[in-house]
Structure 1
Amino acid sequence: MKKSLAVFSLFIAQIIYSQNYSQYVNPFIGTGGHGHTFPGAIVPFGMVQLSPDTRIDGSWDGCSGYHYSDSVIYGFSHTHLNGTGVSDYGDIMLMPTMGNASLNSKEYSSKFSHKNEKASAGFYSVKLDKNNIDVRLTTTKRVGYHEYTFNNSGKANIILDLNHRDKLLEGEVKIIDDKTVEVFRRSEAWATNQYIYARIEFSKPMKISKKEVNGKQEDRLFTGTKLALAFSSDVKKGEKISVKVAISPTGYEGTEKNMLAEGKSGDFESIKKQAETEWNKELSKIEVKSDDKDKLSVFYTALYHVFTQPNINMDVDGKYRGRDNKLYSAQGFNYYSVFSLWDTFRAAHPLMTLIDRKRTADFINTFIKQYEQGGKLPVWELASNETECMIGYHAVSVIADAMAKGIKGFDYEKAFEASKNSAMQDIFGLNAYKHNTYISMDDESESVSRTVEYAYDDWCIAQMAKILGKKEDYQYFMKRSQSWKNLYNPINGFMQPRKNGNWYEPFDPREVNNNYTEGNSWHYSYSVQQDIPGLIVAHGGKEKFEQFIDAIFTAPDQTTGREQADITGLMGQYAQGNEPSHHIAYLYNYVEKPEKTDAKIKYILDNFYKNSPDGLIGNEDCGQMSAWYILSSMGIYSVTPGLPEWQTTTPYFDEVKIHLEDGTTKVITKNTGRTELQKLGFENIKPAKDFKYTQLTAAPVIASDRIFDFSAKVQITPLNQGEKVYYMTMDETDANVRKTFIPYKGPFTISRTTQVHAYSERNGEKSSVTMANFSRRPNYWDIAVHSKVNPQYTANGKLALIDGINGEINWRKGEWQGYQGQNFEAVIDLKSPQQITRLSSTYLQDSKAWILMPKKVEYYASMNGKNFILLKSIDNTLDAKDEKVQIKDFGTEILQTEARYIKVKAYYYGKLPEWHQGAGGEAYIFIDEISVK
């Protein structure tokens, strides 16, 4: 009976896989606008992504190497990124040309027309207008197949340029014979130390006709950091040259094995058909019915984008390059790369737990190996490099979600160990977070986003601990998961940054600034996925929380503060084009207003996803934008990965069939009710024994003037009514004397530089200690600034320039003043004539962030504030190309001079030069302390 059932299941599977779902895939979706996708030939989760490159400048809309608005192709490379916000990849670039070979990208590039361009699942073709060459591309997981048809007779060239796109650190080309070449490329871009090896096989003998090499040239061996070769042969009109390229992260032996396994065929059409078959197998996991062909294209292209990555990153024999750059062999699992976890934990990975549980286990086994070999779980891993891009440690969300849904195939204990390790680091504000139960602006940039996302991740770790019966760990991380309460301002209902013990003002929830990650307070004030009921209580109940959800959709649809290209698809302040908003429409379900969820979700599905190049409203972000569409169109969404449940909405399609790995099928129609939907896609797991945990008491706020003249009033306020507050003070005369906390009874006055400590207490449970520093001014000077400060970088006003408090190397904490596209000029009034012997002013350089040292700094003196004489001019000596973030004091001794007024003038760098990623933009001057002695 079991055998018959297995045969029947196999028969059904074959019928499903034979259906042509790949016909609906449109790889051009997202290649325009800000989607950052690419149209080239790929197979599901393949190592090779063989695609044309129309951008080599590292521009934001060229992150994938291609943009639909372009009309020039530079070549066809074998690695690409799908929808990221940072540029990288473009390895092993080949470009066919004719005539005299050139190794100059402007000369070997070619115009093309979209009329002569086609793309489908596993296939890409284009006509290169310059030399009338037809290019066709297809691929296996590890081998790219090229077919070039030269429509004119003459000399055909295939250019191999290792300096294509990112910086070449080390290059090597070995000529094996006249049809075989081996290539090694080590490069630096977003991932700073990338290794890739390639084996290139031509279908006919090719000779080197031109080379550019700045290193060794020994008997068919070329090395260097400048390395390009032209391989040439005479061709007849209409002649084809085929090229196969096997790639490997481990070495030449890996490329040879990969070629033997996947590159034997000389039949381009059979490989193309094989790629289509692989796509149909994956796409058939979800069958959708609709009379609207555009909707089908949007859906199946979305699924295609989800299956584009993570990418298999091991050879056919299981060998891979670990995070420590050593070589390992994967035992019993497949090793992957490209984990955009800040994005994908929200929908892409929950979708995979539904339709690809085995691959989910492989991802987690990869995480564990990266922890063992690299010291911690991946944050944003790329090509065996940790980029440390974005925030949080969201690998723990993927792990907790898998454990909650009963996915096996990985070591739960080791996964928990790795997760706990990530949470106990002392990096990126975690040290302050652990000790103070929140991050302030004084501790780390993006403090609000880090706090709320760490809190969610800690909840995930707590769920693992509960499953494993680890009571103390559960209690510890559940308490940490409530840290959001320290940044929830009960007066306005927003997650607001804190600085020096107080709420940071001025506060505008629409302002995009360095307190949030790619967003503003509107986006992050709903980011308590782990405790929606607690957030509702904090707002005062379901009715008031419903009003707060309404408010984000009805707020003005313009942000303030810094320009942030990621914030797109605005409905009020809701931004479908970026991930922090993705769960918010579903929150109406928690206040018993599902009809509002339904209306918002339908609007987004109808308006922000189209079957066109600009059909994605924001960066695809490695499948997250598309995964949201897939889940929402099916009527489900995982608001809280780590809970084995789905929030629901009205299904979008006439019928959806989800084929699960256990052989069962779930059918959804537009008439499927919410109760039935809630049972979809996860095992009914018996909940682990619950443990009690301590409720967190929020830390009080301390308010006063940070800089005061003679005295200041200090006020301490608990964040929740009824809590007792205790405090102690230490002033500059007794800073080393230990004080005791006393009950706070009301505002008090200080007259010296003072440090204030305070905590709240509720039912015997103490909060963390809030600390604030208040400084009596070291002088009574005044300062007039004649330049316009950027409102993002005010450092609390002009007196910050002469308050005796120096800005730190992490300028995002807000202690520096920033001036863009202008010289800085200020006049200090010393109030009375002074004898002056030394002058200084301090500046910061962060070249990548457009902040450069001034060209020169001039100091002037005056007795009347009108007539100034030049005392000293100091030229900058720091190279603008130096990307190290550093501080420089433009200080100078002068002959004793009597003056009442000192003028400081700093000349800004000017427009950013061609070599800079922001070429043409205006540089900033960042200045903090001006000193006069």
Structure 2
Amino acid sequence: MKKPLSLFFILFSFFCFSQENSSSKKLINYVNPFIGTGGHGHTYPGATLPFGMMQLSPDTRLDGWDGCSGYHYSDEYIYGFSHTHLSGTGVSDYGDVLLMPTNEVNFNNGSDGNSGYKAHFSHDNEKASPGYYKVLLDKTNIEVELTVSKRSGIHHYTFPKGSKQIVILDLDHRDKILSSEIRPLSKTEISGHRHSEAWAKDQRLFFNIEFSRPYKSVTHYTSTENSPFGGKGAKAAFEFDASAEKDLFVKVGISAVNEKGAYENRTFELRHKSFEEIKTEAETAWENQLEKIVIETQSIDQKTIFYTALYHTMIAPNLYQDVDGRYRGMDLEIHQSNDFENYTVFSLWDTYRAAHPLYTIIEKDRTTHFINSLLAKYDEGGILPIWPLAGNYTWCMVGYHAVPVISDAYLKGIRGFDAEKALQAMKHSAMQDKLGLKSYKEFGFIPVEEESESVSKTLEYAYNDWTIAQMAKAMGKTEDYNYFMERSQNYKNVFDPETKFMRGRFRNTWFAPFDPYEVNFNYTEANSWQYSFYAPQDISGLVNLMGGKAEFEKQLDKLFTAKKETSGREQADITGLIGQYAHGNEPSHHMAYLYNFVNKPAKTQEKIHQILNEKYQNAPDGISGNEDCGQMSAWYVFSAMGFYPVTPASNQYIIGTPLFESTTINLEDGKKFEIAAENLSDENKYIASATLNGKPLTRSYINHSEIMDGGKLVFKMTDKPSTWATKDEEIPKTEITENLIVPAPFIAKGDVAFKNKTEISLDLPIYEAEILYSINNSEFKIYSEPFTISEETELRTYSSNGYGKESKTLSTHFYKIDPNLSIKLETEYANQYNGGGDNALIDGVQGAIDFRTGSWQGYHDTDLKATLDLGSKKEVQTVSVNFLQDQRAWIFYPTEVSCSVSENGKDFTELPIQKIDAEIPSEEAGIKTIQFEINKNIQFIRITAKNFGALPKGHLGYGGKAWLFVDEISPLIPKGDN
């Protein structure tokens, strides 16, 4: 990961060193906003305030995965400066209301290869610090400075002498425009709106702009002929008198409510204030924020990485409310709140792990606003959000992770919200029927064939349920506690005891063939390695499933030493690999701390020290994956201090190893919690002993209350692993001992689609129970040995512990394939989309509209070539074959399908080719059945389907190759000829 530093970063480090040795030791001097702007960090360098509504930043990239924030360090051109940006996300949005100073009227942004109004720039002439950004546009020699308040910002343009002074206002920037308008109110004031569709399907933003001096002319451009000032793609060019002065200040207010709100936001925050005054206020706000945690270290790079990480944790969530308390809710209506500040941009799948737990320590007051915002979204939109963005539900990622955010805060004593409503909202999220929850409630896990990402969803739902149970218990809700404690153990139902991995259950068998390195549709941005250690609510239970502490430790060792390569589909999020530990993505973030749970804290200390030093650098690509709205940085902040919240809502922090000689957390009530590391060095990464408030601390965890009460934690460091915190009574535990469930049995052996006969074996992940089964609705009997079936069969199974505890009853339909029918595949399918194996196209199981449910057979950039052998000559009337289209997932219909038939397997007769106009854009998934008329006595049928190939221009994946998904080649044979 370590790379030579650019001249810019050498100079940046020198600047910080100079500041360290001067009278000025402001913490903002150690923030480098360019960290994360390269690689896949997806951050932006522009000006924003802590958790502010405006993010005023340059835009250097219009599309693509690495353009999610609008800026990438490898780019050379700036398109302009827009007022909203996302920090570290994996999906693009925002980039609203772009302004660009230039010297000619040109409405082309230059993305088509023309010069346009975009301008070249050099990082040598670029500077960024908290609340401030500056750059020189080489093409026009215009200097740009930006600074912000909460809901507004100021541009300062310095034009060269004698140059034309023109400002382009472009509302047709990046996203699809639903509606836009530019309304000049005077020669110095403009108002308008931009409604757009991207990740947020209906984002509504209003703006108000004030120039420091009047423009002398305006040129309008619009793609709507009958509207000079509005319509889709509204743009305008404002020209100013070049002889007046070279400086132009542009004040901009934004609002999600209306134009009046944007005006009031601007005037309330910026009126009569100069650029320098607003910049100073922004810097003061950031200094106050960063002072919440004060570190001491001799390493300027480490100090810069830490304070940049802390800075990144304070960029989102974003304020989404005007100065008068109005905001746009999840119903897209206007609401008023005088009791709490409304926020948006909650990347909950990421941030529940460490960012929100960090806020419960240093942002208690703001945490109440966050939770009240989530509850308001429940009131307005009908459900707690999964990933809310600008008044929209995006339904992005898995789990219902608003739940642990609320529970963790409540259990830590943060009570500035309606707890009864909160618990009701949490239960409401858990009792839905969508996103696999219907199956989850019915079976205790999500079957592969019912829902995509079934393993990840099962595991994360189970953790979420545990946090509901903990809050219910604290509130005295015994019935809720018992119910959700049972559900929280559902992780056991996707654990395969033979491989010791979490696996997809496909028709109650295990998804096969199994490769723990394979990235497939059973996991969310991960493979089985990266989800098989996820049961933070019951780590003791997971340890037992894996065979005890020694076996669990071995499996963890294998995780960190496994080969780095993954198989299956390409997944850009899997980065920062140490073996198969992927620090660049969130499912791995707790894993290095799990050694503490098996009495081996020294191994945790080794791994944490390695990750801190290898996966974070003072460089543009200094973050090993998407920054994800503060989560990647929150991991660093916690781990550098010496501990981490492995299980939010447990009120425990698991100790790793401190990175700094001294850390002080300045709590909101005036108390301080100090962490000191004696004899610390790069070699001395192991903890020899520890004290808390002067008393020996022999356990490898601390409690939330011990931090919030204030005090001092002191580590004595050494260069060798020690026996500190290695006894059973000294290790952390998360353990479920009440309302224990009996996991559901699985089919360990047996083909769901078979010829002639198949032998069936049943098994359980634990052995303190018996299995009962029924064939074709017969009476249930105890399973004792494998049995054989030779006909189409309905098998039902459940398990019982003999003391009244039973698992869910599961049904599996076994299909008998015509033993005379066989298929030869001449091209290779992708294992991750095998559909059930070599016989998937003749097994009688039809693929559903959701390709992720496992019944379709997928071919990537490969044609389908398959030959059916009917076993003997038969009169065949027709043959049909099904294809799936889901262009959003890169799955296209074939461009043509051909069929040829033969009596002897050598001499084939071609039937007319059927062509498909597969390039027609479609947002909807669909299934197309292609049928060929045969009406001949034949034995062999050859089907060929031509893959679409290179994805078309305009598609999100342009430059990549298409998938071909096929299922069920079905010959129609009169019954008498079977």
TM-score, normalising length from structure 2?
0.90
In 2, the alpha carbon distance for the partners of 1:141 and 1:19 equals: 25
Which one of the candidate residues 424, 431, 434 is aligned to 1:427?
434
In 2, the alpha carbon distance for the partners of 1:546 and 1:213 equals: 64
Residue identity over aligned pairs, in percent, reads 48
Instruction: Measure how far apart 1:788 and its partner are.
Output: 2.3
CA contact (8 A) 1:666 1:680 kept: no
Instruction: Measure how far apart 1:102 and its partner are.
Output: 3.2
Aligned to 1:5: none
Residue 559 (structure 2) pairs with residue 527 (structure 1): no
Aligned to 2:948: 909
Which one of the candidate residues 87, 94, 99 is aligned to 2:92?
87
Which stretch has the larger CA shift, 876-885 or 503-512?
876-885
Aligned to 2:773: 727
Which one of the candidate residues 480, 483, 486 is aligned to 2:490?
483
Aligned to 2:266: 259
CA contact (8 A) 1:405 1:683 kept: no
Instruction: Write the letter of the residue equivalent to 1:700.
Output: P
Residue 462 (structure 2) pairs with residue 439 (structure 1): no
Which one of the candidate residues 916, 923, 930 is aligned to 2:962?
923
Instruction: Write the letter of the residue equivalent to 1:776.
Output: K
Deviation by residue 1:313-358 (Cα, 9 ceiling, x = unmatched): 0001110111011110123111000000000000000000010101
Which one of the candidate residues 372, 391, 404 is aligned to 2:398?
391
Distance 1:918 1:208, change over 3 A: farther
Instruction: Write the letter of the residue equivalent to 1:76.
Output: F
Aligned to 1:740: 779
Instruction: Write the letter of the residue equivalent to 1:110.
Output: A
Which stretch has the larger CA shift, 203-212 or 147-156?
203-212
In 2, the alpha carbon distance for the partners of 1:415 and 1:340 equals: 19
Distance 1:384 1:683, change over 3 A: farther
In 1, the alpha carbon distance for the partners of 2:176 and 2:736 equals: 53
Instruction: Measure how far apart 1:506 and its partner are.
Output: 1.6
Instruction: Measure how far apart 1:675 and its partner are.
Output: 4.9
CA contact (8 A) 2:541 2:736 kept: no
Instruction: Measure how far apart 1:237 and its partner are.
Output: 9.4
Which one of the candidate residues 56, 59, 62 is aligned to 1:53?
59
Instruction: Measure how far apart 1:636 and its partner are.
Output: 1.5
Which one of the candidate residues 670, 695, 700 is aligned to 2:740?
695
Instruction: Measure how far apart 1:207 and its partner are.
Output: 5.1
In 1, the alpha carbon distance for the partners of 2:256 and 2:819 equals: 61
Which one of the candidate residues 62, 71, 80 is aligned to 1:75?
80
> What pairs with 1:870-889 in structure 2 (closer than 5 Å)?
870-877=910-917, 879-889=919-929
Which stretch has the larger CA shift, 801-810 or 824-833?
824-833
Which one of the candidate residues 872, 889, 896 is aligned to 1:856?
896
Deviation by residue 1:857-878 (Cα, 9 ceiling, x = unmatched): 2222222333333222222245
Which one of the candidate residues 205, 221, 230 is aligned to 1:196?
205
Aligned to 1:27: 33
Distance 1:684 1:665, change over 3 A: closer
In 1, the alpha carbon distance for the partners of 2:462 and 2:703 equals: 28
Aligned to 1:635: 642
Residue 356 (structure 2) pairs with residue 320 (structure 1): no
Distance 1:146 1:862, change over 3 A: same
Distance 1:542 1:240, change over 3 A: same
Instruction: Write the letter of the residue equivalent to 2:743.
Output: A
What is the aligned length? Answer: 902
In 2, the alpha carbon distance for the partners of 1:680 and 1:698 equals: 32
Deviation by residue 1:233-281 (Cα, 9 ceiling, x = unmatched): 2314970111111000111111111012112135111111111000001
In 1, the alpha carbon distance for the partners of 2:128 and 2:832 equals: 44
Instruction: Measure how far apart 1:895 and its partner are.
Output: 6.0
Which one of the candidate residues 572, 579, 583 is aligned to 1:576?
583
> What pairs with 1:93-108 in structure 2 (closer than 5 Å)?
93-106=98-111, 107-108=116-117
CA contact (8 A) 1:852 1:880 kept: no
Deviation by residue 1:674-698 (Cα, 9 ceiling, x = unmatched): 6568556536999xxx998420101
Instruction: Write the letter of the residue equivalent to 2:924.
Output: K
CA contact (8 A) 1:320 1:328 kept: yes
Instruction: Write the letter of the residue equivalent to 1:359.
Output: R
Aligned to 1:932: 971
Distance 1:450 1:674, change over 3 A: farther
Instruction: Measure how far apart 1:548 and its partner are.
Output: 2.0
Aligned to 2:257: 250
> What pairs with 1:39-50 in structure 2 (closer than 5 Å)?
39-50=45-56
Q: Runs of at least 4 residues of structure 1 off by over 4 A? A: 674-681, 683-686
1:339 match: secondary structure: coil
Residue 760 (structure 2) pairs with residue 714 (structure 1): yes
Instruction: Measure how far apart 1:152 and its partner are.
Output: 4.0
> What pairs with 1:608-687 in structure 2 (closer than 5 Å)?
608-671=615-678, 673=690, 675=692, 678-679=701-702, 681-682=704-705
2:183 match: secondary structure: strand
RMSD, matched Cα: 2.0
Instruction: Measure how far apart 1:909 and its partner are.
Output: 1.7
Aligned to 1:123: 132
Residue 704 (structure 2) pairs with residue 704 (structure 1): no
Which one of the candidate residues 899, 914, 924 is aligned to 2:938?
899
Instruction: Measure how far apart 1:885 and its partner are.
Output: 1.2
CA contact (8 A) 2:42 2:72 kept: yes
> What pairs with 1:709-788 in structure 2 (closer than 5 Å)?
709-730=755-776, 739-762=778-801, 763-778=803-818, 780-788=820-828
Gaps of 5+ in 2: 1-23, 679-688, 710-734, 973-978
In 1, the alpha carbon distance for the partners of 2:584 and 2:691 equals: 27
Instruction: Measure how far apart 1:747 and its partner are.
Output: 2.1
TM-score, normalising length from structure 1?
0.94
Deviation by residue 1:342-400 (Cα, 9 ceiling, x = unmatched): 00000000000010101111110011111111111111111111111110001111111
In 1, the alpha carbon distance for the partners of 2:778 and 2:264 equals: 70
Residue 68 (structure 2) pairs with residue 63 (structure 1): yes
> What pairs with 1:12-411 in structure 2 (closer than 5 Å)?
20-57=26-63, 59-106=64-111, 107-206=116-215, 209-215=218-224, 222-236=229-243, 239-411=246-418
CA contact (8 A) 1:457 1:481 kept: yes
2:282 match: secondary structure: helix
2:629 match: secondary structure: coil
2:538 match: secondary structure: helix
Instruction: Measure how far apart 1:837 and its partner are.
Output: 2.8
CA contact (8 A) 1:154 1:236 kept: no
Instruction: Measure how far apart 1:901 and its partner are.
Output: 2.0
In 1, the alpha carbon distance for the partners of 2:920 and 2:663 equals: 56
Instruction: Measure how far apart 1:637 and its partner are.
Output: 0.7
CA contact (8 A) 1:154 1:234 kept: no
In 1, the alpha carbon distance for the partners of 2:942 and 2:219 equals: 59
CA contact (8 A) 2:895 2:948 kept: yes
Aligned to 1:539: 546
Instruction: Measure how far apart 1:120 and its partner are.
Output: 0.6
Which stretch has the larger CA shift, 707-716 or 186-195?
707-716
Instruction: Write the letter of the residue equivalent to 2:61.
Output: R
Distance 1:866 1:407, change over 3 A: same
Deviation by residue 1:656-675 (Cα, 9 ceiling, x = unmatched): 11111111011111148265
Deviation by residue 1:518-548 (Cα, 9 ceiling, x = unmatched): 1111111111100111122222322222222
CA contact (8 A) 2:545 2:766 kept: no
Residue 927 (structure 2) pairs with residue 867 (structure 1): no
2:652 match: secondary structure: coil
